């Protein structure tokens, strides 16, 4: 397989003079309301954001995501001074790098570190170099390789976790009922969390299975992160968004739970 347009495998011949401009505040994500995360960064994310699970309507795949806002284009954690958080998810940190296919190889399944070539953070005149004048990889590029590896391995482990909690029927729908200062009440739906009730109903053997896979702590961390929704609402009302005067968080409303993969 080959990469889609504008995705190129990092190569010293093509990118000998390419540099990555400073993007310390990750401004490219200032309008993102959700970002997929891996299980390895769960603790760092839940210290800052609500972590929920969503289902891709195209392939039905379920993924944990950090939640930054209540609707597309809304990020209440980003302001004039950058991110109002102590952590930013890896899938945001990695830009303009991405995991893609190695265009230099005949192996159609070989993966490599690639670049979004149309990213505004790529330049040939400013920023951190990818290669030395001798054509060797810089320390910066090597650190990006490590990040891509961590993301790739983290996504595989995260997929195992999601399959297991679906198999055990632990997913439960979550709804947020909002009362704006002006306008009618509305619901934010289509998101899921871990059901505390269903966790308690697991057999001893099922609990032991989760524990041995190191998935049990993740279940409780995700469930506990729902309280970060209160901080999200607080930050939202401090910014130039529609003011919410009242809200309610409904766990396990009458809705269909994401199916088992």
Least confident of 88-92, 182-186, 229-233: 182-186
pLDDT of 126 > 70? The answer is yes
Least confident of 55-59, 86-90, 150-154, 215-219: 55-59
Q: Under 8 Å CB-to-CB from 62, ≥6 apart: which residues?
A: 53, 54, 55, 56, 162, 166, 171, 192, 258, 261
Least confident of 29-43, 155-169, 180-194: 180-194
Are 50 and 229 in contact, with CB atoms under 8 Å apart?
yes
State both tokens at 170: 């632990």
Of 189, 133, 151, 113, nearest to 16 (Cα)? 133
Higher-confidence residue of 21 and 5: namely: 21
Least confident of 100-104, 124-128, 239-243: 239-243
Question: How remote is the C-alpha of 113 from its chain's centroid?
Answer: 19
Q: Taking residues 105-130, what's their average pLDDT? A: 92
Q: Taking residues 207-211, what's their average pLDDT? A: 96
pLDDT tens track for 136-158: 999 999 999 999 999 999 999 99
Q: By three-state DSSP, how is residue 209 classified? A: helix
pLDDT of 260 > 60? The answer is no
Of 132, 162, 120, 129, nearest to 28 (Cα)? 120
What ranges make up the beta strands (E) of the chain? Answer: 7-9, 19-20, 34-36, 51-55, 62-67, 78-79, 82-83, 97-101, 111-116, 122-123, 128-129, 171-180, 186-194, 244-251
CA distances from 69 to 3, 110, 224, 246 (A): 31, 36, 18, 16
Give the pLDDT confidence score for residue 254 in this predicted structure: 61
Give the pLDDT confidence score for residue 1 in this predicted structure: 57
Task: Kindly indicate the confidence band of residue 52, based on its pLDDT and cuts at 50, 70 and 90.
Answer: very high
Higher-confidence residue of 242 and 46: namely: 46
Task: Kindly indicate the confidence band of residue 2, based on its pLDDT and cuts at 50, 70 and 90.
Answer: low
Spatial separation of the C-alpha atoms in residues 8 and 10, rounded to whole Å: 6
Q: Taking residues 65-83, what's their average pLDDT? A: 94
Q: pTM for this one?
A: 0.89
Q: Taking residues 81-85, what's their average pLDDT? A: 91
């Amino acid at each position: 397989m080959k990469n889609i347009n504008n995705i190129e495998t990092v190569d010293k011949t093509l990118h000998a003079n390419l540099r990555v401009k400073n993007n310390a505040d990750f401004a490219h994500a200032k309008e993102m309301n959700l970002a997929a995360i891996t299980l390895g960064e769960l603790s760092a994310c839940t210290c800052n954001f609500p972590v929920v699970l969503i289902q891709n309507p195209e392939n039905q795949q379920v993924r944990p995501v950090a939640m930054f806002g209540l609707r597309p284009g809304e990020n209440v954690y980003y302001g004039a001074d950058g991110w109002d958080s102590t952590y930013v998810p890896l899938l945001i940190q990695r830009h303009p790098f991405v995991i893609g296919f190695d265009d230099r190889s005949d192996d159609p399944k070989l993966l490599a570190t690639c670049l979004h070539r149309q990213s505004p953070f790529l330049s040939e005149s400013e920023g951190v170099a990818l290669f030395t004048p001798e054509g060797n990889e810089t320390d910066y590029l090597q650190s990006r390789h490590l990040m891509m590896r961590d993301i790739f391995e983290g996504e595989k482990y995260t997929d195992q976790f999601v399959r297991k909690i679906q198999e055990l029927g632990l997913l439960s729908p979550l709804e947020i009922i909002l009362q704006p200062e002006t306008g009618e009440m509305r619901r934010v739906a289509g998101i899921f969390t871990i059901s505390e009730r269903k966790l308690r109903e697991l057999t001893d053997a099922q609990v032991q299975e989760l524990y041995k896979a190191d998935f049990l702590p993740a279940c409780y961390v995700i469930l506990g992160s729902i309280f970060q929704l209160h901080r999200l609402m607080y930050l939202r009302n401090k910014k130039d968004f529609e003011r919410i005067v009242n809200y309610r968080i409904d766990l396990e409303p009458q809705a269909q739970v994401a199916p088992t993969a």
